[in-house]
Amino acid sequence: MSIDANALMNHLLSSFEHNTPPEGGWYIEAALRKLPWNQRFNSLKAIDALITSHRKQRAITDAQAFLADTDKRNTLLLLAAYLGKVLQHSTGSRATWHYHADFVAANPAEHQHIAHSFNTALVLKLGEQWVLPVSLLCDQFFDAHAQQSISHHIENIIHREQYFQSQDHTESMHLLLQMVAHHAHLPGGLAHAEILATQEWDYSIFSLDRLDAVLQQVRSSTTFQADTWIKDSSEANFLMWASSYLAATIANIAQAPLRWWGHADTEKLMQQDLPESLASSRVAQIDQTLYFVMGYISDYLLGLNDKSTSQYGQFVLAQLHNFPQTPLKAQTKMAPNVPALWKNAMINAGQTAAHMFHQLINNPQQQALLLPTLFDGGLFVQALDNGETVEQHWHNNPNQRAYLSLAYEADAFFATQRMDAIQIDTMVDDGTGNEFAMGITVPYYAHHDYRGFQILRPYFTQLPAEQRHDWESLGEYFFNGVQQFEQAQAPFWKGYYSGVLVS
């Protein structure tokens, strides 16, 4: 009785783990034993290095002769089985192996043109997409001029699976940008991909001129109708990419948050009825203002609007006078001439951030239950004895506001991605008896993210414009607060923080 494909691949992994090699053994086993087999995406960097080293030292000139050896076939299948585990771990989708005949039978119209060979004998189904890890590995081992690493290809597959899973318009549009930038295969294809590949897309003001040149070339060579994007998925993907790139570039230049809304959410935000249309199917919110970017791009392609993307971008940028995300940069010297309350607020914010991330690191399985937390300079409070919520306690103690930091889970919407974040809010006296709100957002990759938990640079997200310059010199006090917390806790911040490290 033949073993099914899934059992075969799992058997290879189990054989390697328990040091019970299959018939024929393993090829380059000593090198394989040095790899991290933790099923995490970051482990693929070691496989990239192994393949690069192998190509340099043992260039393969005859693929068929290589595959004639059982140990070499075993090793390629073992690595492919591991890639399946990485994909499953990184996406959360079910990953199952199938033989070529089952692969073809699942969708004859699309799959029957893929011939049976060692490369395609075993195929992985990840969620709703089919993947060929064995073929990817063979390309890596046999092609001395392979330009993209195995981790690059796996990341593209992860993005595609996240795209299939996503129910959030912001995440979908950001993933679309990343897939096009990485030359990944898009579900439904991408029209005019060869034109896009000739340009550099760096989210700069100058790239808007390049976008305009591409749109002019496409408009002159393609006849668009109002229903083009309903009938042709590849053209629809191009329209969404151009719209997403334009909005992301504007947000990147303005250092403003960007998110996308569908028709129903846009109606709620505008508090008015909107006709359902292509323009309202994806609406960009840059900072606090809604922009019908997709409507502008589609009108341009239909010849209904001659305003260039550069002109459109300059128009939007002129309205975005508020720059809410300012990096907190640690200074070599602490700012001396600022009110003590300001320093205390930043130190408390640093301690609060360290406390919240300490909760995440020590309770990753309870990440969704992270509670809003109030810090008064001495105690962290999640549930108050008298039944108050932290928000009520905040409002009921106005005299303590300069010393209170309220932290809670939030989202950070950058130009090209949405990230989980901790938001820290406090009220500070301006020195004349008047209070103003100060907010800091610290974005991070979540524990379940395929890139692994990583804390990124914190940003001011709420400050009066007249106070911004003074506060930008206070970053060191934020990090000082982190250090104070770490004196009694494990120094997790050093290990995970990717910006300015606490020393």
3-class SS at 501? coil
For residue 248, which of 189, 330, 332, 175 has the smallest C-alpha distance?
A: 175
Residue type, 69: D
pLDDT given at position 186: 93
Q: Which two tokens stand for residue 141?
A: 């081992």
pLDDT given at position 496: 64
CA 236 to chain centre: 22
Q: Residue 498: exposed, middle, or buried by beta-carbon count in 10 A (0-12, 13-18, 19+)?
A: exposed
Cα–Cα distances in Å, from 443 out to 49, 349, 422, 431, 500? Answer: 30, 14, 6, 30, 14
71 backbone dihedrals φ, ψ, rounded to 5°? -65, -35
Which pairs count as long-range contacts for 292-295, CB under 8 Å and 24+ apart, including other chains? 293/243, 293/246, 293/247, 294/239, 294/240, 294/243
Domain ranges for the chain, please list them.
Answer: 5-164, 168-319, 326-496
Q: Which two tokens stand for residue 59?
A: 């260039």
Q: Residue 487: exposed, middle, or buried by beta-carbon count in 10 A (0-12, 13-18, 19+)?
A: exposed
Report the distance separating Cα 19 and Cα 447, nearest Å. 31
* pLDDT tens digits for range 278-327: 999 999 999 889 999 999 999 999 999 989 999 999 999 988 865 555 66
Q: Which H, E and C letters describe 46-79, residue by residue?
A: HHHHHHHHHHHHCCCCCHHHHHCCHHHHHHHHHH
Contacts with 104 (C-beta within 8 Å, 6 or more apart), sequence order: 111, 112, 114
Q: Residue 133: exposed, middle, or buried by beta-carbon count in 10 A (0-12, 13-18, 19+)?
A: buried
- C-beta neighbour count of 174 within 10 angstroms: 27
Report the distance separating Cα 215 and Cα 223, nearest Å. 13
Q: Residue 401 in contact with residue 411, Cβ under 8 Å?
A: no
How many angstroms separate the first and last alpha carbons of the chain? 62
Q: Residue 118 in contact with residue 138, Cβ under 8 Å?
A: yes
Burial 387-416 (b: 16+ CB within 10 A, else e): ebebeebbeeeeeebbbbbbbbbbebbbbb
The pLDDT tens digits along the chain (503 residues) read: 358 999 999 999 999 999 999 999 999 999 999 999 999 999 999 999 999 999 888 777 788 899 999 999 999 999 999 999 999 999 999 999 999 999 999 999 889 899 999 999 999 999 989 999 999 999 999 887 778 999 999 999 999 999 999 999 999 999 999 999 999 999 999 999 999 999 999 999 999 999 999 999 999 999 999 999 999 999 999 999 999 999 999 999 988 889 999 999 999 999 999 999 999 999 999 988 999 999 999 999 999 998 999 999 999 998 886 555 566 765 555 556 778 888 889 999 999 999 998 888 776 555 556 888 999 888 888 867 677 777 777 778 777 777 789 999 998 888 888 889 999 999 887 767 778 888 999 999 887 788 888 888 888 888 887 777 778 778 888 888 988 898 877 777 766 664 443 32
pLDDT given at position 2: 59
pLDDT given at position 503: 28
Q: Residue 388 in contact with residue 382, Cβ under 8 Å?
A: no
Residue type, 304: L
Q: Using the structure block, give the residue that is written with the tokens 């997790």.
A: 492
pLDDT given at position 499: 46
Report the distance separating Cα 124 and Cα 157, nearest Å. 12
Beta bridge partners of 442: 422
* pLDDT tens digits for range 358-383: 888 776 555 556 888 999 888 888 86
pLDDT given at position 329: 64
Q: Which H, E and C letters describe 387-415, residue by residue?
A: CCCHHHHHHHCHHHHHHCEEEEEEEEECC
pLDDT given at position 366: 53
